[in-house]
Amino acid sequence: SDNENSLESTDEQATASDKHNINFKPISPSTVTKKRKRHQWTIEENLPAVACFEKNDNKHKTAQQVGCATKQLRMWIQNKNELLSLSSRKKGE
């Protein structure tokens, strides 16, 4: 009987303490993602990337080779004429 009482009181204490304990899972290094630093591309880097795309006609492959995002490459292709005019203005200075 005494053993039963002590077991019951131990169980009650355990459940009471469980309500207040918060189990935090340790974060493994593989789940932590690091933010990539932003790269400001120059016109001298943009134009060869556009030329590379025009050669192989594959945006995804070109973006991987150049090291930029596919969306960024699309924007450079879309703004090719503006990049060319800026490049010629810069050379004329």
* Residue 9 reports pLDDT greater than 70: no
**56 in any annotated domain:** yes
Looking at the structure of the chain, the number of domains it has is 1
What local confidence, expressed as pLDDT, does residue 66 receive? 93
* Residue 6 reports pLDDT greater than 60: no
Please state the φ and ψ torsions of residue 42, each to the nearest 5 degrees.
Answer: -90, 165
What local confidence, expressed as pLDDT, does residue 26 receive? 65
**73 in any annotated domain:** yes
Please state the φ and ψ torsions of residue 36, each to the nearest 5 degrees.
Answer: -80, 140
* Residue 12 reports pLDDT greater than 70: no
Residue 30 carries which side chain, given as an amino acid letter? Answer: S
Please state the φ and ψ torsions of residue 13, each to the nearest 5 degrees.
Answer: -65, -40
**48 in any annotated domain:** yes
44-87 residue pLDDT tens: 999 999 999 999 999 999 999 999 999 999 999 999 999 999 98
What is the span of the domain harbouring residue 58? 43-91
**70 in any annotated domain:** yes
